[in-house]
Amino acid sequence: MIKKEINRISEVGKALISVEGNPGVALNHVVELLDADTNQSLSFAKAINISENSTRFQVFNGTGGLSTKTKLRMHEVPLTAGFSYNMLGRTFDGIGQVADNGPEVIFEKQLETSLDTLNPTVRLVPKQPLWTGIPMIDVFNTLVKSQKIPIFASPTEPYNRLLSQIAMGAQADVIIFAGIGLKFDEYHYFKDQLSQSGNIDKTIMFVHLAGESQIKGLMLPDVALSVAREFADQGKDALVLLTDMTNWSNILRNVANYQDMIPSLQGYPGSLYSELARRYEVAADIEGAGSITIIGATTLESLEDPVPDNTGYITEGQFFLENGKLKLARSLSRLKQQVNGNTRSDHRPIMTAMASLLADAEKAYEAAEVGAANDAFSQKLLAYRSDFIANMEEPFGDPLELDAALDRCWEILKRHFEPTETGLSKKLIEEYWDNQN
């Protein structure tokens, strides 16, 4: 319902506008910005700060073309996002508007994007695996439905390619890709890969390109996660791929600076932890419904940077991408023990054995750099290390089912060790060793 129109903007900033007093809105409510002469709709903005003397709004696509004469039309609803199954296979911008030059989508309902906290009593203990087709994840750090986990990587690593690889092999009902500050070629690469894999028809893309309105980038995760929650409420298992959460945090920092908020470490607002947590905590396995799993790419120069540091306290492990490889020693899924005991009988033992051998191989590698590690077993370890990096830590390629990934583990062990050198039980050796080619 439309409430009223007013014309009393007192200040126009880079991404914010201020209005004298409170025009009659609550936090997160939306106003429409109209040309003073023609009443043509120019943009939308969200109420983010309300005081006795003024109200501040975030403008979704920048304040260019706005002035103190611009009119505001009040709407008595918070920011909403449209929802429809017809969104599958389509691309939208940061506020949920069609962005692929296709036909308009007729939405079945409008969703609030406030990301209200889910009632803890309807959260289930995570017990279902979400297979990705990537051996380093499925075998060694199994992803669990409802898990929230980041990919930590330097800005030069192929983290978006890794998200694309996950989307290609993920056994989820719905995949929601949420990209903030993407380059144009990154967006098209992701879309092309999904089209080739056949998963595009179960994917919704929310895209904010570098150079577009910062406010659209800031709002994008809330819109994407609200849509994911609706799919979960309707019984679907949704996988949300967020990238890059450092880009998103930088926008948050910029907006906080526009509002003259007192900065914390490296200029980020003191609310950085709670802002990140509010998004990641949407992940849940919901009683009587589906699930939401979140993987968030987070670029970093150091793990002590504010964004990865805060993220590490919120999430349930991390995948670490280094030199194009998913590094076993730096990756961890804290929920993997919930599910990897209910798969093939060799899953946990071979995971443990190979990790232990890799740790020994890293010691042999360090020794070899100073001219040591010349004994026969050390040479086996060094060859094993190279094989492991090339065939297990390599995340790219055709997706593998879990059985095929476990079989590959046995093949690697057979290439370098005798059965008694693996640390595996006689029972497992008898069951699996001679069954490998």
- The model carries a pTM of 0.89
Indicate whether 63 and 174 sit together in one domain.
Answer: no
Indicate whether 350 and 329 sit together in one domain.
Answer: no
Indicate whether 291 and 149 sit together in one domain.
Answer: yes
Determine the Cα–Cα distance for residues 272 and 250; give it in Å rounded to an integer: 10
Q: How many domains does the chain have?
A: 3
Indicate whether 165 and 300 sit together in one domain.
Answer: yes
Indicate whether 167 and 69 sit together in one domain.
Answer: no
Burial track 200-215 (b if 16+ CB lie within 10 A, e otherwise): bebbbbbbbbeebbbb
Tally: H helices and E strands in the chain: 11, 19
Give the pLDDT of residue 259. Answer: 65
Question: Last residue of a domain, which of 291, 310, 338?
Answer: 338
pLDDT digits (tens, 9 = 90+) for 273-292: 999 999 999 999 999 999 99
Indicate whether 299 and 388 sit together in one domain.
Answer: no
Question: Last residue of a domain, which of 289, 310, 338?
Answer: 338
Indicate whether 110 and 172 sit together in one domain.
Answer: yes
Question: Which residues does 91 contact at the CB level (< 8 Å), separation at least 6?
Answer: 98, 99, 100, 191, 204, 205, 206, 207
3-state helix, strand, coil in the chain (%, to 5): 40, 25, 35
Q: What are the Cα distances from residue 180, in Å, to 110, 183, 216, 282, 426?
A: 23, 9, 9, 18, 51
CATH number at residue 13: 2.40.30.270
Give the pLDDT of residue 3. Answer: 53
Give the pLDDT of residue 335. Answer: 96
Indicate whether 197 and 308 sit together in one domain.
Answer: yes
CATH number at residue 111: 3.40.50.12240
Determine the Cα–Cα distance for residues 350 and 156; give it in Å rounded to an integer: 32
Indicate whether 35 and 134 sit together in one domain.
Answer: no
Low-confidence ranges of the chain (pLDDT < 70): 1-3, 61, 75-78, 259-260, 436-437
Indicate whether 398 and 328 sit together in one domain.
Answer: no
Indicate whether 267 and 296 sit together in one domain.
Answer: yes
Question: Last residue of a domain, which of 74, 94, 122?
Answer: 74
pLDDT digits (tens, 9 = 90+) for 363-377: 999 999 888 878 999
Determine the Cα–Cα distance for residues 181 and 213; give it in Å rounded to an integer: 10
Indicate whether 299 and 377 sit together in one domain.
Answer: no
Determine the Cα–Cα distance for residues 147 and 239; give it in Å rounded to an integer: 10
Domain interval for residue 363: 346-433
Determine the Cα–Cα distance for residues 185 and 299; give it in Å rounded to an integer: 18
Determine the Cα–Cα distance for residues 127 and 134; give it in Å rounded to an integer: 19
Q: Which of 92, 114, 97 is nearest to 29 (CA)?
A: 114
